[in-house]
């Protein structure tokens, strides 16, 4: 019963955004910069910016998160350190995103003097994504049957060989699903980029990682709260919301499709 309520709420929200937003979606909307006080034109720089941030954050979060997950699951025995690391990872996942934003500003923007930049924003988003990546990597490794590890050891393989040649190939599809989900999370975040990278209005595209960019979630916030002409920016806001929600939905859907595909394949035996 409650799950129907959840579904209903989701449908209402999506439907509302889709109906209000679909009118402004056009090729021009997706491929040009905003014009005339953001009442005309499109959101292309924000799409590109969000793309840059997603890629940047993943370049940081994937290797660090996957390696941490492997270390926690494969190398640590059940002791206080493992419990401590797990607990800290869970805590990190529960930290409000605005705290990540302020932390990113303090560390990357000010202390390390990256300034408001793709670099600072990507690292901040990367840290936000880390606990998700670590947890899902751990889950994926846990799903690998121990019999396979033993079989590999019994043939004289070392731990590293076993992880590289047996454990990771088996866990890879599930890890990949986790990575895609974390991309979905990162692409919709506003607070972490607020003070680290996002530009209020910047129609030109970024040229290096030390540039600021516009990003979809923040652009939406700007359109909804601080336009000079609220009546005329409102449709643009709905359009932006629709694009953002669609991107996140597509990412999450592809993750669950991938998961289903994998389950079909591994059910063979």
Partner 1 sequence: MTHAEVKNINVWYDTIHALKDVSLKFEPNTVTALIGPSGCGKSTFLRMFNRMNDLIPSFRMDGTVMVNDQDVYSKEIRIDEIRKNVGMVFQKPNPFPKSIFENVAYGLRVNGSNNKAFIEERVERSLRQSALWDEVKDVLKKSALELSGGQQQRLCIARALAVEPKLILMDEPAASLDPISTARIEDLIFELKKTYTIILVTHNLQQAGRISDLTAFFYMGELIEYNMTKKIFLNPDNIQTQNYITGRFG
Q: Does 150 bind partner 1 (CB under 8 A)?
A: yes
CB of 150 to partner 1, least distance (A): 7
Which of the stretches 122-130, 133-141, 156-164, 234-242 binds partner 1 when contact is defined by CB under 8 A?
Answer: 156-164
Binding residue for partner 1 (CB under 8 A) from 170, 205, 224, 258? 170
CB of 160 to partner 1, least distance (A): 10
Q: Which is nearer to partner 1, 113 or 269 (CB)?
A: 269
Q: Does 148 bind partner 1 (CB under 8 A)?
A: yes
Q: Which is nearer to partner 1, 18 or 166 (CB)?
A: 166
Q: How far is CA 168 from the centre of its chain?
A: 22
Q: How far is CA 81 from CA 43, 50, 208, in A?
A: 47, 36, 40
Binding residue for partner 1 (CB under 8 A) from 112, 151, 250, 253? 151
Q: Which is nearer to partner 1, 103 or 153 (CB)?
A: 153
Q: Which is nearer to partner 1, 130 or 175 (CB)?
A: 175
Residue numbers 64-83 binding partner 1 by CB under 8 A:
77-78
Q: Does 5 bind partner 1 (CB under 8 A)?
A: no
Q: Does 6 bind partner 1 (CB under 8 A)?
A: no
Q: Which is nearer to partner 1, 83 or 204 (CB)?
A: 83
Which of the stretches 85-93, 133-141, 149-157, 189-197 binds partner 1 when contact is defined by CB under 8 A?
Answer: 149-157
Q: Does 154 bind partner 1 (CB under 8 A)?
A: yes
Q: Does 153 bind partner 1 (CB under 8 A)?
A: yes
Please give the Cα distance from 6 to 2 (Å, whole number).
6
* Chain residues that interact with partner 1, rule: CB under 8 A: 77-78, 145, 147-148, 150-158, 161, 165-166, 169-170, 266, 268-269
């Amino acid at each position: 019963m409650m799950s129907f309520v959840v579904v209903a709420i989701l449908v209402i929200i999506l439907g509302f955004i889709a109906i209000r937003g679909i009118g402004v979606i056009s090729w021009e909307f997706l491929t040009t910069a905003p014009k005339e006080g953001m009442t005309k034109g499109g959101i292309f720089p924000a799409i590109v910016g969000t793309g840059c941030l997603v890629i940047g954050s993943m370049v940081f979060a994937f290797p660090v998160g996957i390696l941490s997950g492997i270390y926690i699951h494969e190398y640590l025995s059940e002791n206080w350190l493992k419990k401590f690391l797990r607990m800290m990872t869970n805590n990190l996942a529960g930290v409000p995103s605005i705290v990540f934003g302020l932390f990113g500003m303090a560390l990357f923007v000010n202390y390390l003097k990256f300034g408001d930049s793709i670099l600072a924003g990507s690292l901040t988003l990367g840290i936000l994504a880390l606990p998700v990546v670590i947890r899902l990597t751990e889950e994926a490794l846990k799903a690998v049957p121990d019999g396979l590890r033993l079989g590999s050891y019994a043939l004289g393989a070392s731990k590293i060989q076993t992880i590289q040649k047996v454990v990771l190939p088996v866990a890879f599809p599930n890890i990949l699903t986790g990575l895609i989900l974390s991309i979905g999370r990162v692409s919709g975040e506003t607070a972490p980029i607020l003070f680290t990278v996002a530009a209020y209005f910047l129609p030109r595209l970024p040229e290096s990682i030390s540039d600021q960019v516009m990003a979809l979630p923040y652009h939406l916030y700007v359109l909804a709260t601080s336009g000079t002409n609220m009546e005329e920016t409102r449709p643009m806001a709905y359009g932006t919301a629709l694009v953002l929600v669609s991107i996140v939905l597509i990412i999450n859907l592809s993750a669950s499709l991938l998961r289903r595909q994998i389950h079909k394949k591994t059910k063979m035996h």
